[in-house]
């Protein structure tokens, strides 16, 4: 008898443990969509690591452990999104307050959140992703290199260029770069 067929083994694991795993994730999620996502990710992991999945009843326990980690990762991601949303709401409230109290000359002096958003949108998708990984996710160049699958040096270079392009977009939108620091002014002028 030859080696076991991976697809057949996976199908057997899936068929045998799907109902129990579905119940497990449904009891730990708040929506059917979250349960479906967790279930899909768990079985995707099982497929990728099929050689690590034990035989028999132990497979169900392995799947529970995997689902537990998937759910924990999902909760951490949701917490990060919530924290980001809270921070953004606070920043937008400050911007809105400044816009309400500012005269026209002050708004053109760099306090225009719509202008900043528009400048950000004009960047390439790659530049936006790099800047978001740094600003929103709080990742350093080493972590970003892991996410993007490239060297730290490549990340540093791409990040520098993305910051320069953003500074130029902000300047072309008539926003006061001094508000963003001397580095932003230098980047826009090509001095950095």
> What pTM did the predictor assign?
0.47
Mean pLDDT of residues grouped by 10 in the chain (192 residues)?
A: 82 95 92 94 96 93 94 88 81 70 46 74 89 85 89 93 87 73 59 56
**19 and 64, same structural domain?**
yes
Residues 70 and 116 grouped into a single domain: no
User: Are 139 and 184 in a shared domain?
Assistant: yes
Based on the fold, state whether residues 169 and 116 are members of the same structural domain. Answer: yes
Residue 63 placed within a domain: yes
Residue 181 confidence (pLDDT): 62
Q: What is the pLDDT, as a whole number, of residue 192?
A: 54
Assigned domain for 15 exists: yes
Q: CATH number of the domain that 130 lies in?
A: 1.10.10.10
Q: 138 by DSSP, 3-state: which? A: coil
By residue range, what is the domain housing residue 17?
Answer: 6-78
The answer to whether position 24 is within a domain reads yes
> What total of structural domains would you count in the chain?
2
DSSP string for 71-125: HHHHHHHHHHHHHHHHHHHHHHHHHHHHHHH--HHHHTTT--HHHHHHHHHHS-H
């Amino acid at each position: 008898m030859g080696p076991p067929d991976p697809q057949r083994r996976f199908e057997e694991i899936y068929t045998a443990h799907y109902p129990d795993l579905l119940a497990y994730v449904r009891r730990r999620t708040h929506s059917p969509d979250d349960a479906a996502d967790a279930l899909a990710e768990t079985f995707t992991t099982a497929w990728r690591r099929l050689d690590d999945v034990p035989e028999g009843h132990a497979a169900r326990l392995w799947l529970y452990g995997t689902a537990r980690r998937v759910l924990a990762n999902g909760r951490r991601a949701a917490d990060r999104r919530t924290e980001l949303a809270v921070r953004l709401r606070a920043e937008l409230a400050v911007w809105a307050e400044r816009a309400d109290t500012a005269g026209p000359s002050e708004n053109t002096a760099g306090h225009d959140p719509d202008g900043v958003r528009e400048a950000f949108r004009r960047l390439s998708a790659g530049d936006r992703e790099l800047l978001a990984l740094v600003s929103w996710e709080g990742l350093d160049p080493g972590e970003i290199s892991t996410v993007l699958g490239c060297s730290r040096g490549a990340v540093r270079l791409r990040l520098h260029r993305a910051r320069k392009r953003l500074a130029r977009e902000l300047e072309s939108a008539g926003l006061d770069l001094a508000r963003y620091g001397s580095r932003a002014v230098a980047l826009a002028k090509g001095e950095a």
